[in-house]
Amino acid sequence: MVRRITGFSKFSKEEKIDWLMKAFFEEKSISKETLKKYWNSDVKLQELHDDFIENTISNFYLPFGVAPNFLINDEEYTIPMVIEESSVVAAASLVGKFWSTRGGFKATVLGTTKVGQVHFMTKMTSKAVEDYFEEKKEDLLKATKAITKNMRKRGGGILAIELRDKTSDLENYYQLHVTFETKDSMGANFINSCLEAIADEFEKEGIQIVMSILSNYVPECVVRAEVSCKVEDLLPGSSTIDPTEYAEKFKNAVAIANVEPHRAVTHNKGIMNGIDAVVLATGNDFRAIESCAHAYAARSGRYKSLTNCEVKDGIFRFWIEIPLAIGTVGGLTALHPMAKFSLELLQNPTAEELMKIIAVAGLAQNFAALRALTTTGIQKGHMKMHLMNILNQLGASLEEKEKLVKYFEHIPVTHSGVQEAYQKLKTV
């Protein structure tokens, strides 16, 4: 069976699917009808989705949920979340409600500077490169004036252009390190257009421009979110756990993530459960957010927790500082109907306001995970939420689901345990 093809992108969607079925699904393990079930019945809406990427054959849906009762800087929010993992939205909702009665979340944007670089190679001496840069610096800014005109009207634009000598890392390697303010736009296209104009103006005989591209590492585009309360208020009144002991245990769980990378990766993954879910819901770039967050977590030379905890003078404090380069205008935020809905649900925030909301979602998710880990364990709540997924995999009927959900109300949920209970129910 030959599975190579020429001109695939020119096929209609139907033709693409027909070829895939013939080339890869001889046993008909999946049908053309399955793919078509996920097409949107609104033709114009489907065409919009088809234009987001190339070679579309269908849509891949993820659940869209909301987590209510978030109090952020004394404003009430219901946060949109797009994620497939069981218990994430439930955990966020519980934590939002918990902290809403303890002063809520406080969030502050510490900086919004974004970065782009022109990477070039030259055998010129360092002094000659520096002299040329100083000679051309004003021309580099002039070369971007037409591109930055509208951004400057909104208070953004190029903040600085700096020459960096990187020859100690790589022979003949230098860069123009450019910083930007892009206001409510994520700014990728704006930054890249500016960089290419700068590169064209800077290039000359003896200087080879290798590439001009924004950086997704933005350690100066940072937001801080935190919660705090008296130690005695850290647990619900019905709890039998000593609050001081619990606060210390919670703090130690964060401290472990600051010294043990194996734990830190999982710790930060839980944070990203909350962050990515809101980033996706608002049409932002979760891959850029992820890569930047993990680079930031390793900025000291060791991969560490993105959150921190302090218990001092009877006060419990828990906070996060994280870089978030996001936008509320342009890109998918202006095209995807559900992204528009999410932003309207959040009261049409500015980019800075959205940074705060996203950071809070990450902090809430981490609080939920650490609270579970340091008390009942992570699996109890997670597997309760996962029960329905297992039952769906087994093909349980609505009546069977109701019986099994009731059966597992007071029994630990395990995959094998659910399978066994299901088979027993089937034989009754």
Active site residues: 85, 269, 285, 382
Q: How many CB atoms lie within 10 A of CB 124?
A: 15
Specify the 3-state DSSP secondary structure of 219.
coil
| Rounded CA separation 175/413 (Å) | 55
Phi, psi of 222 (to 5 degrees): -120, 145
CA dihedral 91, 94, 99, 104 (to 10 degrees): 80
Q: 110: closest CA among 341, 424, 420, 355? A: 355
> What tokens appear for 253 in the block?
């769980």
* CA 307 to each of CA 107, 249, 271, 325: distance values in angstroms, whole numbers, following the listed order: 14, 15, 9, 18
Angle between helices 398-407 and 378-394 (to 10 degrees): 160
Angle between helices 261-281 and 243-259 (to 10 degrees): 100
Is the separation of the CB atoms in 92 and 361 below 8 Å?
yes
For the range 43-47, what are the long-range contacts, defined as Cβ-Cβ under 8 Å and sequence gap of 24 or more?
45/337
